[in-house]
Amino acid sequence: MPKYEFIHEAGTPVSNRLKQILLQYFSEEDVQKLERLGGKVQFSITAPYISPEKRRASKAINVDSEYIKLLKEMKNDPDKLLDNLKNLTVKQLRELCKLVDQPVRSSATASEIRIELVRNFQSQEIWNRISAKK
């Protein structure tokens, strides 16, 4: 995300160019307070963007029993499993959760869903290790 910060020194006037921009969004009192006390002014650009490569990659993956089988084969390598899940959209992740009976909150983010799916695929392995120690 591109971002630029202006650090304004206390007691100095704001440049005319910056003052015009600030007055479009803030009151004259706010600008005077900035001049008197100093402060920081930030500009940032945040635009949602999904690269065409990622969009094509997620559309190319069919979430079905074959894909679940592939993910189960990767359960011993959580990094590889997580990388594979990163190619899926939130909709595909939710579909995958339904297929593997993994409950998921409706407000869960994609990263939270991925982590839960990795835990789900590794759970059998973890329980096998726990029961073998007893």
Q: What are 45-91's pLDDT values in tens digits?
A: 877 766 666 666 556 788 888 888 888 888 888 888 888 888 888 88
Q: Is the pTM here over 0.75, yes or no?
A: no
- Residue 43's DSSP bridge partners are 4
Which band of pLDDT confidence, cut at 50, 70 and 90, is reported for residue 20? very high
Alpha-carbon gap, residue 19 to 118, rounded angstroms:
51
Query: Residue 2, class by beta-carbon neighbours within 10 Å (0-12 exposed, 13-18 middle, 19+ buried)?
Result: exposed
Helix axis angle for 110-133 and 78-85, nearest 10°, is 150
Torsion-angle region of 106 (φ positive above 0: left; ψ -120 to 50: alpha; else: beta): alpha
